[in-house]
Amino acid sequence: MAEAHWHVLGAGAIGCLFAAALARSGSGVTLVTRGHSGRRRLRIEDSGATTEVELPVCGLHDAGQIATLLVTTKAYDVVDAVAAVAPRLADDANVLLLVNGMGLAQELRSRHPRLQVYSGTTTQGAYRRDPTHICHAGHGDTLIGRPGQAEPPPWFGQWVRAVPRCRWESEIEAALWSKLAVNCVINPLTALHGCRNGELALRAELRAEVEALCREVTQVSYAAGYTQTAQTIGDSVARVIAGTADNRSSMLQDVSAGRPTEIDYITGYLLRIAEEHGIPAQRNRAIFEEVKAIAH
Ligand code: PAF
């Protein structure tokens, strides 16, 4: 069977990093952009060494069928971006969502029932020095899965070949939730206080806010059956704060740049689950409203 050809929607740092990794390990890859078709030379910098890879680029509305799509856009762009390429998607196309937050896989499944929608989460760190120059800043784990699917699909072998520390996760919802839980605490607080992640552990009033949010996340996690996250959220948040102390969180960067934030897919998703279980989650609700008030 021929290997999957990957179309990558969302040519930000993470999208380019995975596109380059797939291409370098022998997979066919095309970037899908809002611009015109052509070719793009990417430079990937990793531990001081820079490698180059040139990839074909197509426009959103070009002709040509898409059988396997990797989506790495901002969470709030996913629905519109997939709708834009929908006429080109094969009947049973595979769509792998590697985006922040939760709720989008369900939304895509209900809008496009024929699609095989997979989800992923990564702790790989990357940022763009410019649109073609990506800095691979941190090596992490990449988990991919689909609710109810114990075994990976055939295309997953391409990921194992391309991406170190990539594994199939049969409990992908639990893995996504545990990342969401950490993001619910760190991202809105850093965005609202305009601080780097590390400050959340240094200032007493911010430590109290972290604790209050963690208590509610624990409650919601127990109610939703994510017991492991419920039992470890405090430690996980402390570890991520320490490990990313110098980082400006993605939500702080979005607010600073005047972009929309991903709050609807992070705290907004937590609040939807809290509501389903009759949990008020007042601190999370308040912080959700505060972020909405300062951002788009
Ligand atoms: O969204 C982010 O910025 C990251 O997920 C994290 C882990 C909070 C580090 O900054």
* Tens of pLDDT, residues 60-89: 999 899 999 999 999 999 999 999 999 999
pLDDT, mean of residues 127-153? 94
pLDDT tier at 125, thresholds 50, 70, 90: confident
pLDDT at 1: 75
Atom of ligand 1 nearest to the CA of 179: 5
By most ligand atoms within 8 Å of CB, the mutation choice from 177, 187, 256 for ligand 1 is: 187
CA 261 to centroid of ligand 1, rounded, Å: 13
Determine contact, residues 211/204, Cβ cutoff 8 Å.
no
Nearest ligand 1 atom to alpha carbon 197: 10
How high is the pLDDT of residue 36? 87
Going from the Cα of 267 to the center of ligand 1, the distance in angstroms, rounded, reads: 14
Within 13 Å of residue 6, how many CA atoms lie on the same side as its CB? 30
Whether 179 is catalytic: yes
Report the mean per-residue pLDDT for the chain.
Answer: 96
Distance 125 CA to ligand 1 centre (A): 9
Distances, alpha carbon 26 to alpha carbons 54, 157, 162, 255, in Å = 13, 12, 8, 38
Give the ligand 1 atom nearest the CA of 253: 3
Question: 59 CA distance to ligand 1 centroid (A)?
Answer: 30
pTM reported for the whole predicted model: 0.95
Site to probe by mutation for ligand 1, drawn from 123, 141, 250, 263 as the one with most ligand atoms within 8 Å of Cβ, is: 250
Q: Which atom of ligand 1 is nearest to the CA of 240?
A: 7
192 pLDDT more than 70 = yes
Residue pair 196/248 in contact (Cβ under 8 Å)? The answer is yes
Of the pLDDT bands very low, low, confident and very high (cuts 50, 70, 90), residue 161 is: very high
Q: CB-hemisphere CA count at 13 Å for 69?
A: 33
Mean pLDDT of 162-190: 98
Mean pLDDT throughout 191-199?
97
Using CB distances shorter than 6 Å, the residues near ligand 1 are: 183, 186-187, 197, 240, 244, 247, 249-250
Dist. CA 130 → ligand 1 center (Å): 20
Residue ranges with strand state E in 98-132:
116-122, 125-130
Say which of 179, 182, 210, 268 is annotated catalytic: 179
pLDDT classification of 296: cutoffs 50, 70, 90: low
- Could you report the per-residue pLDDT of 80-119, keeping only the tens digit for each? 999 999 999 999 999 999 999 999 999 999 999 999 999 9
pLDDT at residue 32 tops 80: yes
Q: What ranges in the chain are assigned the alpha helix state H?
A: 13-24, 78-85, 104-111, 156-162, 172-193, 199-202, 204-224, 227-243, 250-256, 267-276, 282-294
**Ligand 1 atom 9: residue of nearest CA:** 249
The CA distance from 220 to 181, in Å, is 10
